[in-house]
């Protein structure tokens, strides 16, 4: 028997707030106490500052009286305040000070003092003694503050309210009404991850549909992927689609310097979730508390492990009717404890990988649309997406923002394609620098970059040339930028070609100047890294074969690769060094032969760089190819692009059909 369709409540907008607002009474009392303290201290200060009279000794007073230099006095109990007829001087704190008004304490009862003053024709005034309530309050204030402090602590401990001493309360932010909502429409480039999360949304909207068939929704979903791929955004989109409360907290928020605080916060978080069921709990960077247990430097029983144990207990404590989904995100799944990953806890693992070219294009479209960025006709987002392989959502958002800032800097009415290109170079290579270099060094840089450019243009199995420049940019004095293709596998031929292209600048210096410089440092580092991977990790050496050499030692408590342990003999180590060196020599010999055979082309590119400072691929092609060669290359490129366009269109149609099928199943 089919159930009537459940009417969903109208969508709610969401914003973040703490789940429990503490009462403002204690805060008001504290504010009033601070204001009272400030008032009393200010009154005492001004009272002391208002009295600028100098205190003199009683013997000095008698001396002034005998010399008839006193004009008037005011007697108050044991103190006399007076005024001299003529100014006098005294030493106050090592400084000689001139004064007329003075104060003096009477050391003993002198019944003849008034007669002596009258005899010297001094005007005498008497005042009654007043009580210094301010002084009494200042003296009693420390005790009052101490008593009030302890009363405040006791009230905080007795009440279950969040306050400054409520260490064990959860710091999770709860999403409620009155804010913008995030849905799956705001997430692009991760279609597979969105499909995996559709069931969670369907369960939270209509749990009876799954419970009637005996189905059980996964208690937890773990989002895995590199930083910036949109894991947090996906979790917010799930909450927006399901229209349920959303508790967000970072893994580092659980751990404090006090023992037991993390476990207490986990318990409080889960209690809040049960009170607001159905809901979603999102823990970002869960690897901060979810690392392997038993690897701590202090024997394994530390605050982090207690927090993890409480998290495991909390995940097991949910009932089937609680309708609570725990979503966590991490970019280090290798360090997580196996007990956290088992079925019944985080039993659904969703991979949020780097987007492909279609995903990057859609991400760019979303950022351009949401920010209302006007684009020039020269901007083609599909072409731009092809030129930034490996970039994640955060990188693409930064690219769009940098391009908009550059367009504003140059007073453009719309963002041009040149703005995107400059922004891309700034992100990848660094900002351009203004350096004054000698003509000799400029010539060396020109031939160095010309060697790279010629290698990228003439080696067919590697990426094609995009731009070459001798303008200082980032950490280099010049740059050669290739237009990378979408690759998920690297062949041996490709690796050797990339190594040869990287050594092109160094070999060009050797051929032209018969001298080597330090400008090839980064190139040598890249060649050495690729060669070592080929031998030790990728099995591309005939002598070594398909053997993984070097075991990584991971200290899970620290969460980083501590080093590599040599799991091979010294004889094997010698063979490894020989093979690494052989690959480097092969690449060096290949690029040297290529540059010597095309010496005239190398000279032409270098001279053009010295004249123009920058060349694109078409300008380089005009220099090194004849018209006939260029026409043949153009025809070949057009054929390849046409074939690729057809494949891309078919893939997009299939993906759209798959998404529609998934939505229909919901």
Structure tokens at 581: 């060196």
In sequence order, what are the residues at sequence separation of 6 or more whose Cβ sits closer than 8 angstroms to the Cβ of residue 564?
Answer: 550, 551, 552, 553
Per-residue model confidence (pLDDT) at position 41: 65
Per-residue model confidence (pLDDT) at position 662: 40
Euclidean distance between CA atoms 444 and 446, whole angstroms:
5
* Phi, psi angles (nearest 5°) of residue 106: -85, 115
Return the closest-CA partner of residue 127 out of 75, 82, 78, 80. 75
Low-confidence ranges of the chain (pLDDT < 50): 1-24, 49-51, 158-168, 177-179, 298-300, 553-563, 648-666
Euclidean distance between CA atoms 401 and 584, whole angstroms:
40
DSSP labels for 401-444? HHHHHHHHHTT-SSB-HHHHHHHHHHHHH--B------HHHHHH
Residue pair 359/190 in contact (Cβ under 8 Å)? The answer is yes
Q: Which residues pair with 551 in a beta bridge?
A: 565
**Preceding omega of 278 cis (within 30 degrees of 0):** yes
> Strand, helix or coil at 171?
coil
In sequence order, what are the residues at sequence separation of 6 or more whose Cβ sits closer than 8 angstroms to the Cβ of residue 49?
Answer: none
- Per residue, the 3-state secondary structure of 597-616, as one string, reads HCHHHHHHHHHHHHHHCEEE
Return the closest-CA partner of residue 348 out of 186, 185, 198. 198
DSSP labels for 8-70? PPPP---EEE-SSPPPSHHHHHHHHHHHHHHHHHHHHHHHHHH--PEE--HHHHHHHHHTT-E
Per-residue model confidence (pLDDT) at position 643: 62
Global confidence as pTM = 0.63
Residue pair 465/450 in contact (Cβ under 8 Å)? The answer is no
> Strand, helix or coil at 124?
strand
The secondary structure element, H or E, covering residue 330 is strand 324-330
Residue pair 513/527 in contact (Cβ under 8 Å)? The answer is no
Euclidean distance between CA atoms 389 and 384, whole angstroms:
10
Euclidean distance between CA atoms 226 and 354, whole angstroms:
7
Residue pair 235/136 in contact (Cβ under 8 Å)? The answer is no
Per-residue model confidence (pLDDT) at position 658: 45
Per-residue model confidence (pLDDT) at position 11: 43
Neighbours of 186 (CB within 10 A): 16
The length of the chain, given as a count of residues = 666
Distances in Å between the alpha carbon of 562 and those of 156, 344, 553, 636?
45, 32, 6, 49
**What distance separates the 2 farthest-apart alpha carbons in the chain?**
129
> Strand, helix or coil at 450?
helix
Residue pair 91/125 in contact (Cβ under 8 Å)? The answer is no
Catalytically active residues, by annotation: 449
Per-residue model confidence (pLDDT) at position 133: 61
Residue pair 88/65 in contact (Cβ under 8 Å)? The answer is no
Structure tokens at 124: 């005498």
Euclidean distance between CA atoms 320 and 208, whole angstroms:
11
Nearest 5°: the CA angle 32, 37, 39 is 95
In terms of DSSP bridges, do strands 479-483 and 464-469 run parallel, antiparallel, or are they unpaired? antiparallel
Residue pair 583/499 in contact (Cβ under 8 Å)? The answer is yes
- State pLDDT tens for residues 382-398: 888 888 888 888 889 99
**Alpha-carbon dihedral 25, 31, 34, 39, rounded to 10 degrees:** -120
Euclidean distance between CA atoms 124 and 557, whole angstroms:
83
Helices 492-502 & 521-536 angle (0-180, nearest 10): 160
DSSP 371: T
User: For the sheet containing 479-483, what is the strand order?
Assistant: 479-483, 464-469, 614-616
Euclidean distance between CA atoms 442 and 452, whole angstroms:
16
């Amino acid at each position: 028997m089919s159930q009537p369709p459940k009417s969903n409540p109208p969508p709610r907008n969401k914003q973040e707030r703490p789940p429990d607002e503490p009462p403002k009474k204690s805060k008001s009392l504290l504010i009033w106490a601070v204001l009272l303290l400030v008032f009393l201290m200010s009154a005492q200060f001004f009272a002391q500052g208002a009295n600028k009279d100098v205190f003199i000794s009683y013997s000095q007073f008698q001396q002034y009286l005998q010399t008839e230099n006193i004009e008037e006095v005011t007697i108050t109990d044991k103190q006399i305040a007076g005024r001299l007829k003529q100014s006098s001087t005294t030493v106050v704190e090592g400084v000689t000070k001139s004064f007329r008004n003075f104060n003096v304490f009477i050391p003993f009862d002198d019944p003849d003092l008034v007669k002596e003053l009258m005899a010297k024709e001094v005007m005498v005034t008497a005042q009654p003694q007043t009580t210094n309530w301010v002084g009494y309050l200042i003296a009693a204030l420390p005790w009052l503050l101490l008593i009030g402090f302890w009363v405040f602590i006791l009230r905080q401990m007795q009440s279950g309210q969040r306050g400054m001493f409520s260490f064990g309360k959860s710091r999770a932010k709860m999403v409620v009404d009155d804010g913008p909502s995030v849905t799956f429409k705001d997430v692009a480039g991760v279609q597979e991850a969105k499909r995996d999360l559709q069931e969670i949304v369907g369960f939270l909207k209509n749990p009876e549909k799954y419970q009637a068939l005996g189905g059980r929704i996964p208690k937890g979903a773990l989002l895995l992927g590199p930083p910036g791929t949109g894991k947090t955004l996906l979790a917010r989109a799930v909450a927006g689609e399901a229209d349920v409360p959303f508790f967000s907290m970072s893994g580092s928020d659980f751990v404090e310097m006090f023992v037991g605080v993390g476990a207490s916060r986990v318990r409080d978080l889960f209690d809040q979730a049960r009170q607001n069921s159905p809901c979603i709990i999102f823990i970002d960077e869960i690897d901060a508390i979810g690392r392997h247990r038993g690897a701590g430097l202090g024997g394994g029983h530390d605050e982090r492990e207690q927090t993890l144990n409480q998290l495991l207990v909390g995940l097991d404590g949910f009932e089937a009717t609680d309708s609570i989904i725990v979503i966590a995100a991490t970019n280090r799944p290798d360090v997580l404890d196996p007990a956290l990953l088992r079925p019944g806890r985080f039993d659904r693992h969703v991979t949020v990988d780097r987007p492909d070219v279609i995903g990057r294009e859609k991400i760019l479209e979303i950022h351009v649309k949401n920010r209302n960025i006007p684009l020039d006709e020269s901007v083609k987002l599909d072409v731009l997406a092809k030129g930034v392989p490996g970039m994640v959502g955060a990188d693409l958002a930064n690219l769009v923002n940098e391009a908009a800032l550059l367009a504003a800097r140059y007073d453009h009415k719309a963002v041009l394609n040149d703005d995107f290109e400059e922004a891309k170079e700034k992100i990848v290579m660094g900002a351009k620098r203004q350096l004054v270099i000698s003509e000799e060094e400029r010539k060396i840089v020109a031939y160095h970059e010309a060697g790279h450019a010629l290698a990228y243009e003439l080696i067919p199995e590697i990426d094609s040339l995009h731009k070459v420049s001798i303008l200082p940019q980032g950490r280099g004095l010049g740059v050669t930028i290739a237009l990378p293709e979408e690759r998920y596998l690297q062949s041996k031929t490709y690796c050797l070609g990339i190594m040869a292209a990287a050594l092109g600048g160094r070999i060009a210096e050797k051929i032209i100047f018969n001298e080597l410089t330090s400008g090839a440092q980064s190139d040598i580092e890249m060649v050495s890294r690729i060669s070592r991977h080929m031998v030790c990790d990728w099995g591309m050496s005939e002598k070594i074969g398909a053997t993984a050499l070097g075991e990584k030692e991971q200290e899970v408590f620290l969460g980083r690769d501590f080093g590599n342990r040599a799991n091979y003999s010294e004889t094997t180590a010698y063979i490894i060094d020989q093979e690494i060196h052989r690959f480097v020599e092969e690449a060096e010999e290949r690029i040297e032969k290529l540059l010597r055979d095309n010496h005239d082309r190398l000279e032409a590119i270098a001279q053009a760089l010295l004249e123009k400072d920058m060349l694109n691929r078409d300008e380089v092609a005009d220099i090194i190819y004849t018209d006939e060669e260029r026409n043949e290359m153009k025809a070949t490129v057009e054929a390849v692009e046409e074939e690729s366009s057809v494949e891309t269109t078919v893939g997009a149609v299939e993906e759209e059909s798959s998404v529609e099928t998934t939505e229909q199943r919901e």
